[in-house]
Amino acid sequence: MARPELAQEIGFFGHVEVVNVDGKDVRKWVPGMTVKAMPWDLPIVGYESDTVYPLRLWECQAIAPFSLESFNNGDYFEAQHALIDAGNITKVLYPNDNHEKGKTLRLMQQYFHSAASVRDILRRHEAAGYTLADLPKQETIQLNDTHPTIAIPELMRILLDEKGLSWDEAWAISSKTFAYTNHTLLPEALETWSESLIQRLLPRHMEIIFEINHRFLQEVRAMWPGDGEKQAKLSIIQEGFHRMVRMANLCVIGSYAVNGVAALHSELVKSDLFPEFHEMYPTRLHNVTNGVTPRRWLKFCNPGLSALVTDKIGSEWPAKLEQLEGIAKFADDAKFQKDYMAVKKQNKQRLADWVKENMGIELDTNAIFDVMIKRLHEYKRQQLDLLHVLSLYHRLLNDPTFDMTPRVVFFGSKAAPGYHLAKEIIFAINKVAEKVNNDPRLGGKLKVVFIPDYRVSMAEMLIPAADVSQQISMAGKEASGTGNMKMALNGALTIGTMDGANVEIREEVGDENIYIFGLDVDGVKRTKAAGYNPYDFYNADPLLKASLDLLLGEEFTPGQPGLLRATYDSLLDGGDPYLCLADFASYVKAHEDMDAQYRDQAGWAKKAILNTALVGKFSSDRSIRDYVNNIWKLEAVSR
Ligand SMILES: *Cc1c(COP(=O)(O)O)cnc(C)c1O
């Protein structure tokens, strides 16, 4: 429901004035344009509780009547922003994944949502009769990645310029109110904004960022006297022809707690991403391993398995997922194994029917359903999965001694619109699928399905039907992953690297119930340090060479040789930055082990049941509880 009585006004552009208030010079931002933030409350209903909480979302509206004159006079026009319609500010979601793009409209969105929320929080806090000094006691603002970082200088601006607090008073409040969750180590995903853009769009905020940095660099100099390199590395401002503001640095400096999203990731945040910050603030960095909601990702999406579980352990598990462990004792029970695999078969049939109906591809539900569903990114290595498909195709056609369990390889993925190679990889997968699915020589043993328009509603159908869950990112690159948790919960066996939460899934389910392959973080570092050359692997491994070379000719693009070259080139002359070729042999071996295991259906069923039973840790309830206990340090209220 709309809440017009709680609307806020949000400014952009303009300049900073010095005004005298009670004999004191106070800085005052005079925005060049102002828009309205309209709150819409979406009720979030607690699972089997009487708690309903509003999720407050903001819509940008023009303030009527819109004055073209003031618009023409303002910096807004001068700054050549063609997005005249204020509604545009909240109309589009930027579709990039793990890649930062410094677009003006994006920064306007970030400020719009941050400023509206900060003001709303302060309004409620003051209306409840609390003092500003009490803000950290009553509120915490958890920054979900660096996207709302601008909320830090916004809160400082309000405390300094509107509430008349001193810098030290304002910083004491602000730096105990914000906490920051880091979601990636990928350098290209760490947000930086050009100083000149922030200066133009939010001139007072830029002054405050400079002051935060000035005071912070004094701390750095005290810690590492005379070390200019440390100052340059840690500074919020990245020097250069175009000076840039490093949002992650501002977050770490301006927050009372910082966390990664899986144990391995949080260790890498300490050791590789922010080692100096960890030295300066040794108690600031934490871990909160991600989780998924068992309501959506088991109870709702897999009613067959849910009924089976409830039959054995009762109906409390959706809110107490650790109780799933109670089905472990049935892992060897032949009747339970049969029922469990029958549910899996039904889920595979539901997916096969959808594929037949929507894509015209006929699938055999006795085949292994091998599933890789996630955003398309080189670090996630869909191209490695494709190489495995090509190796199966090659062996089926050229090795008369080769046998395999029939297999359907599913991909579901969207690429960011500007990510050219990602689109090339999607194209290659689709071309290979076209050929493989219509090649009678394969005897129906191999099918490839690229699910169009992959999204949550498709995930809800794919995940309960998965036998094999592909979690094959280059070690050190996937912060956590959550698809890995959803599929393990639904009884898929993981083939994965020692990356993100895969490490903790292995800890929970046991080494014999997961298929780990490839280089670990240390192996990746050593391989890169030694001067990795993908041709060494290409020339030494005939299966790898044959598989890759299939992309070069016209095998999958009749009459158009070389159409799939982009993927091929990225793995050879492109240097294979994510070490697909280095991990190929071990990946193929892990697949062979899984294939052999699948022929023993009872043994497979036992492993699948143990996956469902032993991943209770990955409930989002446990994640939230970790935030409550270790970051926010909240006490329960009696009710
Ligand atoms: C869970 C989920 C993701 C995240 O998948 P990862 O394998 O962790 O990258 C992406 N897209 C959809 C639709 C999801 O449901």
Higher pLDDT, residue 439 or 62: 439
**Contact between 426 and 376 (Cβ < 8 Å):** yes
Q: Is 481 in the pocket of ligand 1 (CB under 6 A)?
A: yes
Q: In whole angstroms, how far apart are CA 302 and each of 208, 224, 466, 486, 539? A: 51, 56, 12, 11, 46
Residue 459 near ligand 1, beta carbon < 6 Å = yes
* 454 three-class SS: coil
The answer to which of 74-83, 195-204, 609-618 has the lowest mean pLDDT is 74-83
Average pLDDT of span 546-550:
98
Is 589 one of the catalytic residues? no
Give the residue among 87, 68, 65 at the shortest CA–CA distance from 77.
68
Which element (helix H / strand E) includes 45?
strand 33-45
Q: What are phi and psi of 231, to 5 degrees?
A: -60, -45
Pocket test for ligand 1, best of 301, 375, 379 (most atoms within 8 A of CB): 375
Q: Please say if the pLDDT value at position 298 is more than 80.
A: yes
**pLDDT per residue over 429-469, tens digit each?**
999 999 999 999 999 999 999 999 999 999 999 999 999 99
Tokens of 539: 């020339």
Annotation says 183 is catalytic: yes
pLDDT at 64: 60
With a pLDDT cut of 70, the percent of the chain lying above it is 96
Q: Give residue 78's pLDDT.
A: 42
Atom 7, ligand 1: residue with shortest CA distance: 483
Residue pair 253/579 in contact (Cβ under 8 Å)? The answer is: no
Stated pTM of the model: 0.96
Pick the closest to residue 487 from 379, 562, 410 (CA basis).
410
Cβ–ligand 1 contact at 456 (below 6 Å): yes
Written as six digits, the tokens of 389 are 């498909």
What amino acid is encoded at 401 in this protein?
T
Ligand 1 in contact with 482 (CB < 6 A)?
yes
Counting atoms of ligand 1 from 1, which one is nearest the CA of 292?
Answer: 1
Mean pLDDT score, 144-158: 98
pLDDT tens for each residue of 363-406:
999 999 999 999 999 999 999 999 999 999 999 999 999 999 99
- Would you say residue 82 has pLDDT above 80? no
Calculate the average pLDDT of the chain: 95
- Pair 450, 382: CB distance under 8 Å: no
Q: What is the mean pLDDT of residues 180-205?
A: 97
Question: Band of the pLDDT at 73, cuts 50, 70, 90?
Answer: low
Mean pLDDT, range 215-238, rounded to an integer:
98
Rounded CA-CA distance 441/27 in Å is 77
- Judge whether 101 counts as a catalytic residue: no
Closest to 182 measured CA to CA, from 248, 138, 255, 227: 248
67 has pLDDT over 60: no
Q: How far is the CA of 541 from the centre of ligand 1 (A)?
A: 33
State yes or no: is 215 an active-site residue: no
388 Cβ closer than 6 Å to some ligand 1 atom: no
DSSP 619: B
Q: Point out the catalytic residue in the list 119, 147, 270, 374.
A: 374
- Alpha carbons 395 and 445: distance in angstroms, whole number: 12
Cα 276 to Cα 218, 220, 228, distances in angstroms: 15, 9, 14
pLDDT tens, residue by residue, 484-500: 999 999 999 999 999 99
Sign for the pseudo-dihedral over CA of 212, 213, 216, 221 = negative
Residue 76 has pLDDT above 70, yes or no: no
Rounded to an integer, the average pLDDT of 313-338 is 98
How much is the average pLDDT of 480-487? 98
Pocket probe mutation, ligand 1, options 482, 502, 504, 623, max atoms within 8 Å of Cβ: 482
Give yes or no for a contact between 299 and 306, defined as CB atoms under 8 angstroms apart: yes
**3-state secondary structure at position 217:** helix
Strand, coil or helix: 520:
coil
Q: Is the pLDDT of residue 84 over 70?
A: no
Q: Which two three-digit tokens encode residue 162?
A: 């509107």
Neighbours of 506 (CB within 10 A): 17
Please give the DSSP secondary-structure letter assigned to residue 528.
H
Sheet holding 446-451: strands in order across?
Answer: 446-451, 407-412, 368-373, 468-471, 493-496, 515-516
- The amino acid present at 442, given as its one-letter code, is L
pLDDT score, position 85:
67
Q: Whose CA is nearest to atom 9 of ligand 1?
A: 374
